[in-house]
Amino acid sequence: MSEQNPHVMLETSKGSIKIELFSDKAPITAKNFLSYVREGYYDGLIFHRVIKDFMVQGGGMSENLEQKKPKFAIKNEADNGLSNERGTLAMARTSVVDSATSQFFINVVDNSFLDHRGKQPDLYGYCVFGKVLEGMEVVDEIRTVKTGTSRGHSDVPVEPVFIVSAKVIE
């Protein structure tokens, strides 16, 4: 990827994860993520959905599983040719194609079934916009935490895993 791609350091309660954002392939999504990072939006939120052989998801809920109010939804750039392979970051969304806001997930295995396969909503896929450069062992530690059901949400870590801070590395 190009030298122009920004890097972000996610400090978690399990350790540091260094991420490269693909501004070249997913400009809208990378810009959106960076705007949340620069505002300190992610600081103190948790990874609220952890599925050991799938992904770890965060960026939208507090420790009490209260949804933090995000900004507007963005265009889905899943048709950018990138695949949801292990170590990549993608945007979480609802069944509505262009509904991603602040929540993201890190693929812990190759999840090619999440890739863009067509224009129909059920085939559109999930936009990959970055990858873990360093700290995949931290992601692997997060993926193995014990999970349960809490406040109507499943796959919630029993001991919260925090995003202590997210900062752009200049």
Convert the pLDDT of each residue in 18-68 to its tens digit. 999 999 999 999 999 999 999 999 999 999 999 999 999 999 999 999 999
Cβ atoms 76, 100 nearer than 8 A: yes
| 1: pLDDT strictly greater than 70 | no
d(CA 153, CA 165): 24
Residues whose CB falls within 8 Å of the CB of residue 4, separated by 6 or more in sequence, listed in order:
23, 24
Helix (H/G/I), strand (E/B), else coil: 32: helix
Alpha helix stretches (DSSP H) within 116-170 = 136-143
Q: Where are the domains of the chain?
A: 7-169
pLDDT at 3: 63
Residues whose CB falls within 8 Å of the CB of residue 139, separated by 6 or more in sequence, listed in order:
17, 56, 87, 106, 108, 132
Its CATH architecture, for the domain 7-169, is Beta Barrel (2.40)
Place of tokens 């392979």: 85
Mean pLDDT confidence for 107-119: 98
Mean pLDDT confidence for 5-26: 98
To the question of pTM greater than 0.85 for the whole model, the response is yes
